[in-house]
A = this chain, B = another copy of it.
């Protein structure tokens, strides 16, 4: 018996006696990089069936097969919390996605605001960061990273019942306020560097779903603000309680 050194997300159902074929990249990682051999153990999760201990059944350079042994963790779904953020420089955008997955956001939505510099994001590339973060943090769920959408369009179709925590950097120095616990769905909105436009700010503040959150007396970078807002939300309303 070996201790599992690797924790892997697989896009394949897991269950008792289940056989899991590996993709080329995964086989390369497990057998080329991590040097696993038949009989070695791996932890797997598929985002739907919790975490499973599996053993290597076949190991090849470009393919391989794992065999599920038993469940090691039940599925833990994050709270129904979306993170909306305006993409910034590439490294910091990657960072926000990684942090959102670690912190337990259920869905990640890049939004284009009036002052967003970035015109495009590659959702598939960002999705990989979310997978890696989930593998690393011991979670059993991977948040979906959506394609970028314009903030005004997203607001126009905003769900009636979803609260929006609007992190408005113009409210520097205001008192922090998180509303009382509720089982309603939520979203957190983090602005771009340069902040929101006056039009956006006015529109957001006029939405009945909006709660404004101040993040202290200093102006935080977008990536810092994302972690800070997720922390406050998770500890007040989420699965850190």
Contact = CB atoms under 8 A, between A and B. Distances in A.
Interface of A: 76, 95, 98-99, 102-104, 136-139, 172, 175-176, 214-221, 224, 227-228, 231-232, 234-235, 238-241
Contacts of A76: 217
19 contacts: A95-B95, A99-B224, A103-B220, A103-B224, A104-B216, A137-B219, A137-B220, A137-B221, A138-B218, A175-B241, A176-B235, A176-B241, A216-B239, A216-B240, A217-B240, A227-B227, A227-B228, A231-B232, A232-B235
A12 to B, nearest CB: 22
A239 B172 CA distance: 12
A76 B217 CA distance: 9
Given A228-B227, A232-B231, A104 B240 contact: no
Nearest to A215: B240
Contacts of A218: 102-104, 137-139
B138 A172 contact: yes
B227 A138 contact: no
Contacts of A238: 216
Contacts of A214: 240
